[in-house]
Structure 1
Amino acid sequence: MKTHARSYRSWFIALLLATLAGCGGNGPESDAFGASNAEPRYSISGSISVAADTAVDSDVNNPAAPNLPNDHAEQAQSLAGVSLIGGFATAEPTARDGDYFAAMADPRDVYRLPLVAGQTVWLEVAARSAGADEVDFGLYLYAVGEHEAPLAASRSLAAVESLRVPSGLDTGEYDVVVKAHAGASNYILELGPAEQALPNSLAVSDEAFVPGDLIVVFNDESEPAVSRQARAPGERAAELGLLHRRGARGQAQLLGLGHGLQRQAALQQLGVDLPPSMTRALNRLDEQARAREETKLAVQALRQRDDVRYADLNYLRRPAFAPNDPFFERQWHYRQIDLPGAWSVTTGDSAVVVAVVDTGVYLAHPDLSPNLLDSGYNFVREEGIGPNPDDPGGAGRRGSFHGTHVAGTVAAASDNGEGVAGVAWRAGLLPIRVCGEQGCSSYDLMQGVRYAAGLSNDSGTVPPQPADIINISLGGSGFSGAEQALYDKVRSQGIFVVASAGNGNTSAPTYPAAYSSVLSVGAVDARKQRAPYSNYGTYVDLVAPGGNMRRDDTGSGEPDGVLSTVAVQHNGERTAGYGFAQGTSMAAPHVAGVIALMKAVYPDLTPGEFEHWLQAGRVTEDLGMPGWDNEFGWGLINARQAVLHAQSAAGGQPLPASLSVAPRILDFGVANSLQYLALTLNDEEDRITEVVAEADWLHVEPAAVDQHGSGRYRVTVLRENLAPGSYYGAIRIVTSAEEQVDIPVLMQRVASRGEAGIFYVVLVDADSGRVVDSVQAEYRDGAYRYSFEGVPAGRYQVYAGTDNDNDRYICGLGEACGAYPSLSKPETVPVDGNRDGLDFAATYRRPSQHSLNAADVEPIGIGRRKTD
């Protein structure tokens, strides 16, 4: 898209010259499109929608926006039922002609939001993500009308700040403040639960630290050298009312707050001045909880001092099984199958090999290369078979990179601080290419499978270690006796073959998934409903997350696709990237990866044993009708349940406790109203005595249970009478063995419509890449309407976006962006008549995701033709 922005300026100059030439009477008359006025003209129109939980800062830098100040508590912008906000702030006037803040600063944006204790607020600063070191933003939480001291704060030089609403605070409205301390930037503010805060921010609800302990490094340069040499290490701590426990001058020192009145005196000496609401909240806590909160307040106060270089909590470091990959939080599909629960047991074993028989794998991808085996092979006969399974991607800028995406789900290198996570972090990946420009022939596929299984094949060679699991996210109609015999032979050797059930929304069998020796995997969306494209019927064994790119049921502001590794093509060069996709192709590798985890703890696991567990409900969460059904087979793969059963079968840890629960958290998002909870007693002597919903809007009832209470329970939420906002509840389960399990329940009630600011719609000539027109959309009835008039026949693409920082480019980081029919796959629209109904969705370009394929678009210039 970069060429679009550059060509626009050239086009604008060309238009000016053409206009001047026209005034002189030279040449035929033409218009801005460079077409003769005699040519027939048409209209192009449609609408742009944004998610209902989306809002925009009321005073951005664009002078065309309403620009209502929200700088102070009395001007707070009230936003209920919103989880994603796009904004702009600047610490100094921009001094740029045409800017709304050219002559005045806009350092503070105040939002009044309904929040609950433990809820997380994230701030992503676009300029920081782009590498602007001079930009410094902070995030603050205040009680309404009490802005003297924050209840929580996060300020660092990181691109993302995060804070949590302190425990003990009542559910209700609070003021969230974004403050620009230096520089100017677009930003994204997001509300929602999160498992942990990001580095360089103080997570206010994080209890994994020692209450009363402070780790402090003093800034010795702030003190004269003579004074430094004469003073004992504990003197500086004593001056702050703190106890010196460990550590020497010039190093990290362990300081203490003390107890009771001593702690209160230390906080006062540190300048902690609490508003009445915070004091009331602290008074309601027990001593341990209060000590935790006051320790956090002390750290925040120390971080504001010039004589303190670092101040931190004394964290308790424990084994962590949630990877640090930056896009892991966007992989909703892993939480859906309780994958983090499985990772507490194993993250995979390099001795377990998964073959990805597909379009190949982009071998240079840094999130795949650590797990790729060098024994892959290419069996595409039209290219000449050979030992190079590299994924070329096919035609187009993004190509397909289908096999690369599948491989990332199976075993992307995880917890490496890069990109995404894979299901089996440490499994070996055997890339096998069987799909070329003409598709994937049955014969080439069979050769690839034979090679993966260590059977004789056209290459005359076999890999040093045959695959334990073969993933085939491919399929088509037509039964083949030769294929059936091959898959029977592969299974007889103890090798799993996992295949996608097909995307035809039909019960007609797809092969190889429909062969009896193959595990057939259908797809569900984020609501655990059968994805609208997924095949179903008698040959489907189970389901896994496949996503639905036309929905946003997770409330993330993004399409509910499966996020994994891909590559981007530009001028014939490929670069590593990440992208969303949907399909049963995406579902199958989830199952292949889970089986790899099971094999890591139970190497002797066979396809027959897995099939027995599948039919007994030991590796899935039952969906639909009890037991097997036409829509979901034996249910949704549950990684934790599957790995625990494998571990137990291997003679390791027995199944924990007497009660198994799947899933262990229910997240209804913004639209889902029905889910099922599966309860299984592991001891026949026990029974379930209580299943209670602990929220007025939450209801639970038996769906199919036995006399002991084991079985499926129907869980519903009622949003109709609730105010917009985020809601947290729980389902309490008690057994006769006095075991109690609380299942968290999350739900959002969003406003009826979303808004992201002033949208500009850009018309691009698909053949030349030139921007040929731009218009400002009109917001009405919850959608943005646009129309281009006088468009000559041709081939066009339509993009839309906001310009909150007024740099005359849409789709910058932190701004909304979309394309017809989707930003991930813009389509060329042939125009030889009026074209109406070109509707599409737009969402904010998150700074932390600017390398994702779904948002991989350069800002597009709109010049000065927009309505100012």
Structure 2
Amino acid sequence: MTYEEALALAKQIAMADPEVKFAEPDLIMRPTMVPNDPGYAYQPDLYPGTPAGINVPAAWDRTNGAGVVVAVVDTGYRPHADLAANLLGGYDFITINPYLPGVSPNDGDGRDSDARDPGDWCTSDPNRQTSSWHGTHVAGTIGAVTNNGRDIAGVAHGAKILPVRVLGMCGGYASDIADGIEWAAGLPITGVPTNATPARVINLSLGGPGTCGVGAYLDYFDAITKARNKGAVVVVAAGNDGADAANTVPANCPGVLAVASVSSSGSRSWFSNYGPTVALAAPGESIYSTHNTGTTVPGSDKLSYLSGTSMAAPHVAGVAALMLSANPSLAVDAVTSLLRSSSKPFPASCTGCGIGIVDAAAAVNAAIAYGGTNRIDESSFFVQQLFFDVLRRKPEASGLSFYVGALNSCNGNSACLASTRANIARGILESPESRALYPELNPSSSSYNDAFVTYCYKLFLQRQFDPEGGVYWYNYLNSTGDYTGVVNGIIASSEYRKRFGTP
């Protein structure tokens, strides 16, 4: 019997017998896990009760991420002793291209099944750097072996890490990264063996200037859309330019969870990108994780502190893995929605940092409570999701109550509900707050109809419109002027419903 079933039975018992003062499930309590890894003493980012800590020990009492694969699309991996047991084979997607000088795989070969990181040092100005061992550090935050009496603890230490190497000397090509994303999700890539262990979570701690779906970054858009359709939650670092993440790709791709970095006090890190593109925040300063001593070629295992939104994103990826382990039936945007709704508030103002700081225990509890249903038909969940998708924030209590009241006044009448849902969605989309976020939604503009259709797809379906669908709705709008009809057609579609569960 599930907790929800037990709770319902307890309510029935209490209502049926006047002698019963109250009835509730008698829950089993267990001690909260505190790992014996010595490095855990230097991981306040995982603790409860700290301003930025993600409260993971209480989540470990319910799940450790077992049964979930998390892809780390990055520089590859080193077989660190505190990581090796949780690593899958992975793949190296870095292409040797004599016509595109500047990026080298550093391992003397092209694409192959060896995803080990040979070092990504770069001697070319202005990108001169020593080897970062970036992918190994990210992987440790997500899935370091835990409670083994050595090194550190990983957020989802029961999960398996799938290393996908796409960054080599001086960076990586967008085409290689896109192929790596698709392969990680279990999609076919020409000339590459099929991935037998598709990832439910893909971490992208990488990025650069650009716009998703435009020019060279059309590959990103296609890859992320395909990965999401395969059931993968895509978590992306917001970027480290101290600027609007709307100008950083793939953080600005539809459907991703862009993660900002906060300091130990819960304030935005000085380097972190920000803005409405950002979904959530997580600790990203002085994060202690698996690393290597080498400055060029690999040396010995070590632990190191690194900072960046690259370090923040894997906290969220790890929590997503915990949620999917606790409830494997969760659809992609059930995960992203619950991560937002369960996040904890910022201790102080954190403009542009997203909805809140990820809270592992609350997220796992929300995942378990979600069950196997599609909750988009629930009035409060529907309204909350509109706020997440369009306004990038949680609804205030008064707004939530107002809209839910309007839906409840339909008393279950399907035609009334459909009309009211569409009017609420359109009202939020065309609100002054929305237009401040998306200046293209200007009713006085001659291109307003085009922008309206574009944003209905981008915000409600979390993708760019396909030519067939986009042209249909654009022509419909031009001929009828029925903006509510466009919204209704999209939010009533099976594609919209599939975001949150079985259509």
Q: TM-score range with shorter-chain normalisation?
A: 0.5 to 0.7
Displacement after TM superposition at 1:458 (Å): 3.9
SS in structure 2 of the partner of residue 620 of structure 1:
coil
**CA offsets, 1:263-283, max 9 Å, x none?**
xxxxxxxxxxxxxxxxxxxxx
**Is residue 353 from structure 1 mapped to residue 78 from structure 2 by the alignment?**
no
2:346 alignment counterpart: 623
Deviation at 1:485, TM superposition (A): 2.2
For the residue of structure 2 that corresponds to 1:592, the secondary structure is helix
**Which of 227, 241, 249 does residue 504 from structure 1 map onto?**
241
Residue 388 (structure 1) aligned with residue 103 (structure 2): no
Q: Distance in 2 between matches of 1:404 and 1:346?
A: 23
SS at match of 1:436: coil
Contact kept? 2:38, 2:150, Cα under 8 Å: yes
* 1:346 CA drift (Å): 1.3
Within-5 A mapping of 1:276-675: 321-335=33-47, 336-349=53-66, 351-363=67-79, 365-374=80-89, 376-382=90-96, 383-395=109-121, 399-479=131-211, 480-507=217-244, 508-547=246-285, 561-569=286-294, 572=297, 574-615=299-340, 617=341, 619-623=342-346, 630-650=351-371
Offset, 1:631 = 1.9
- Whole-angstrom distance in 1 between the partners of 2:236 and 2:296: 34
SS of corresponding position for 1:418: coil
Structure 1: gaps (5+ residues): 1-317, 548-560, 653-703, 708-868
Distance 1:444-1:322 versus aligned 2 partners, 3 A rule? same
Give how far 1:459 is off.
3.8
How far is the alpha carbon of 1:638 from its aligned partner?
Answer: 0.4
Paired AA for residue 637 in structure 1: V
CA distance in 1, matches of 2:207, 2:328: 29
Contact kept? 1:471, 1:499, Cα under 8 Å: yes
Q: How has the CA–CA distance of structure 1 residues 325 and 625 changed in structure 2, closer, same or farther, with 3 Å as cutoff?
A: closer
The answer to whether the Cα contact below 8 Å between 2:204 and 2:235 also exists between their aligned partners in 1 is yes
What does residue range 126-137 of structure 1 map to in structure 2 within 5 Å?
A: none
Give the Å deviation of 1:493. Answer: 1.8
Contact 1:355 1:471 in 2 (8 A): yes
For residue 164 of structure 2, what is the amino acid of its counterpart?
I
Structure 2 CA distance for aligned equivalents of residues 571 and 608 of structure 1: 40
SS of equivalent to 1:565: strand
Deviation per CA, 1:394-431, whole angstroms, max 9, x where unpaired?
Answer: 33997200000000001000101110110001101101
Structure 2 residue identity aligned to 1:638: D
Cα deviation, residue 340, structure 1: 1.0
Preserved contact between residue 92 and residue 115 of structure 2 (Cα < 8 Å) = yes
Q: Secondary structure at the match of 1:621?
A: coil
Q: Secondary structure of the residue that 1:523 maps to in structure 2?
A: strand
| Partners of 1:532 and 1:572 in 2: CA distance | 31
CA displacement 1:662-708 (0-9 Å, x = unmatched)? xxxxxxxxxxxxxxxxxxxxxxxxxxxxxxxxxxxxxxxxxx9969x
Corresponding residue number in structure 1 for 2:379 = none
In 2: Cα distance, 1:490 partner to 1:423 partner: 23
Q: CA offset at residue 651 of structure 1? A: 7.3
Q: CA deviation at 1:473?
A: 0.1
Structure having the higher helix fraction is 2
TM normalised by structure 2 equals 0.60
Deviation at 1:500, TM superposition (A): 0.2
Distance between the aligned counterparts of 2:110 and 2:304, measured in 1? Answer: 30
> Take 1:609 and 1:412, find their aligned partners in 2: how far apart are those partners?
26
Rg (Cα) greater in structure = 1
From the superposition, tell whether residues 451 and 338 of structure 1 become closer, same or farther in structure 2 (CA, over 3 Å). Answer: same
Please report the RMSD computed on the Cα atoms of aligned residues, expressed in angstroms. Answer: 2.5
Give yes or no for contact 1:562–1:581 (8 Å, CA) kept in 2: yes
Deviations, residues 565-619 of structure 1 (Å, cap 9, x unaligned): 001127955211100000000000000000000011100112221233345x2x2
SS in 2 for 1:342: helix
C-alpha distance in 2 between matches for 1:321 and 1:514: 37
Q: 1:404 to 1:541 in 2, by over 3 A?
A: same
Q: Output aligned runs, 1:120-269, within 5 Å.
A: none
Query: Where does residue 693 of structure 1 map in the other structure?
Result: none
CA contact (8 A) 1:385 1:459 kept: no
Residues 624 and 481 (structure 1 numbering): CA distance in 2 closer, same or farther, change over 3 Å? farther
The secondary structure found in structure 2 opposite 1:483 is helix
Query: Offset at 1:344?
Result: 1.6
Change (3 A) 1:568 1:607: same
Structure 2 counterpart of 1:381, which letter? T
Tell me if structure 2 keeps the 8 A contact 1:522–1:535.
Answer: yes
Structure with the bigger percentage of strand: 1
Residue 404 of structure 1 aligns to a residue whose secondary structure is helix
How far does residue 624 in structure 1 lie from its aligned partner after superposition? 7.3
Contact 1:451 / 1:461 at 8 angstroms: preserved in 2?
Answer: no
Contact 1:538 1:630 in 2 (8 A): no
Q: Is the 8 A contact 1:386 1:459 kept in 2?
A: no
Retained in 2: the 8 A contact 1:526–1:545? yes
The CA deviation string for residues 608-643 of structure 1, in whole angstroms up to 9 with x for no partner, is 21233345x2x20122799xx842211100001001
Conserved 8 A contact 2:143-2:156? yes
Per the alignment, in what secondary structure is the counterpart of residue 471 of structure 1?
strand
Aligned equivalents of 2:225 and 2:325: distance in 1? 24
For residues 296 and 229 of structure 2, the distance between their equivalents in structure 1, rounded to whole angstroms, comes to: 47
1:499 deviates by: 0.6
Q: How much has 1:489 moved relative to structure 2? A: 1.7
Q: Is the 8 A contact 1:523 1:544 kept in 2?
A: yes
Scaled by the length of structure 1, what TM-score is found? 0.35
Q: 1:571 to 1:495 in 2, by over 3 A?
A: closer
In structure 2, C-alpha distance between the alignment counterparts of 1:405 and 1:366, rounded to whole Å: 13
Q: Deviations over 1:178-226 (max 9, x none)?
A: xxxxxxxxxxxxxxxxxxxxxxxxxxxxxxxxxxxxxxxxxxxxxxxxx
Question: Distance in 2 between the 1:624 and 1:356 partners?
Answer: 30
Letter of the 1:340 partner, please give it. Answer: P
**Equivalent residue letter for 1:527:** S
Q: Measure how far apart 1:481 and its partner are.
A: 2.4
CA distance in structure 1 between the aligned counterparts of 2:296 and 2:225, rounded to whole angstroms? 44
Change (3 A) 1:572 1:524: closer
